[in-house]
Amino acid sequence: MASSPPQLPSILCPIILSVLLLLHTSTDAQNTPQDFLDAHNSVRSDLGVGPLSWNDTVAAYATGYANWRAGDCSLIHSRGPYGENIFWGSSGWEWNASDAMSYWVAEQQYYDYGSNSCARRQVCGHYTQVVWAKSVSLGCARVVCNDGGVFITCNYYPRGNIIGKRPY
């Protein structure tokens, strides 16, 4: 006769359930419009750049594009009417707004304000879009791709990174 699986002590069941709910909630809670705004506005505030506001029209555009990219999770820009930053994270991690922002803002080290340029062979356009002073609103979206990876896009109105112009 097969034995039954061991039972957890009844006191542990509510604790384990609470931890699982907390983990699930905290992951979801790190992708709200306010999470994206707070992450952007914190960086902008450090430079004395005005805050962004959430734009539902721009967010709808971001959501549409993110949903379209869910099939392949490719880092391809939409070439739409807004400024845009995109992020991809591989499966196995709950990538969130903070992760995407950390990735984009890490490019700050390659941006030279004096020459208004990136260090040779480096990218800094994601960072300069985040802090572009004339961008006043934002819309972002996050999807889990068919392969289990995560695609995040943030779109900015009006777009930044205008050649020859400084971000702030």
Residue range 10-60, pLDDT digits in tens? 443 333 333 333 333 334 558 999 999 999 999 999 999 999 999 999 999
Does the pLDDT value for residue 108 go beyond 80? Answer: yes
CA–CA separation, 94 and 140 (whole Å): 16
Average pLDDT over every residue of 110-126: 97
Helices marked H in the chain: 12-29, 33-46, 56-69, 97-105, 125-130
pTM, 2 dp = 0.81
- DSSP 8-state assignment for residue 87: E
